[in-house]
Amino acid sequence: MYNTPKLSVVGAGPGDPELITIKALNTLKDAKVVLFDALINRELLEYAPQAEHIFVGKRKDKHRYSQDEINELIVKYALERGHVVRLKGGDPFIFGRGSEEINYAKSKGLETAVVSGITSSIAVPANVGIPLTQRGTSESFWVITGTTTQKKLSEDVRLAAQSTATVVILMGMAKLPEIVDIFSYYGKQNTPVGIIQNGTTTNEKSGFGTIKSIEKVVAEKQLTAPAIIVIGEVVRESGKLKSVMQNAIEESVIINSPIGG
Q: Active-site residues: which are they?
A: 37, 58, 171
Q: What is the DSSP string of 203-257?
A: T-EEEEEETTTHHHHHHHHT--SSEEEEESGGGGGSHHHHHHHHHHHHHHHHHHS
Q: Are 238 and 193 in contact (CB under 8 A)?
A: no
As separate numbers, helices (DSSP H) first and strands (DSSP E) second, the chain gives: 8, 12
Asked if 243 and 251 count as a contact pair (C-beta separation under 8 A), the reply is: no
Alpha-carbon distance of 217 to 72, in angstroms, equals 43
Backbone angles phi, psi at 101, to 5 degrees: -70, -40
The C-alpha angle with vertex 250 and arms to 244 and 256, in degrees rounded to 5, equals: 135
SS3 141: strand
Q: Which residues pair with 193 in a beta bridge?
A: 209, 231
How far, in Å, CA of 55 to CA of 74, rounded? 12
Structure letter (DSSP) for residue 37: -
